[in-house]
Amino acid sequence: MSEPVVHEETPNESPLVTMGARELLRIVLRGALVGAGVAIIYLLLNKFVFTAVLCRPQSTGDCSQASNYAAIAALVLSIFGGVIVLAQARVYRPLLVVLAALISLWGLQDHASGAAWYWVIIAAAVLLGLSYGLYAWLARIRNFILAVVVTVVVVVLIRWMLVA
């Protein structure tokens, strides 16, 4: 009698975490919500805090930097809000998604300075929603190092396109 041969089974695990279209749409909508919130916080901080403090006659601060300070404060607050919103949705690697979206869209407030407030909110919602969707889709790669490298390459390409 021959002994039965026992084969070690290796699980055929996909190199990507599964993500359906419904989940991707939910991430994009949550990103749009965070984007609208960031734009509203930016507009309020710019008008009622930084411009009011830096642009009065007694101030020695630089009035032209008020919008930059407001944008930085709003974007830093958006990191916390974005991670919380994406973690509640059980998104894979929410911090990577939020940081990549923040870095790739950094400095866009300079282009929005002359636009009406409602266009700023709409543009921020659309851009942040699409960014969250893109980076959440890229973060599905199971190998963390590979996911970070791919995300960094895409961030650099997007920054290069926005600056050029």
pLDDT tens string 33-56: 999 999 999 999 999 998 888 888
> Are 15 and 144 within 8 A, CB to CB?
no
Domain map of the chain by residue range? 22-163
Number of CB atoms found within 10 A of residue 5's CB: 5
pLDDT in tens, 54-67: 888 876 668 888 88
- Distance, CA of 29 to CA of 43 (rounded, Å): 21
Q: In 3D, which of 132, 70, 130 has the Cα closest to residue 95?
A: 132
- Residue-wise pLDDT for 101-118, tens only, equals 999 998 877 777 778 889
In this predicted structure, the answer to whether residue 5 has a pLDDT above a threshold of 90 is no
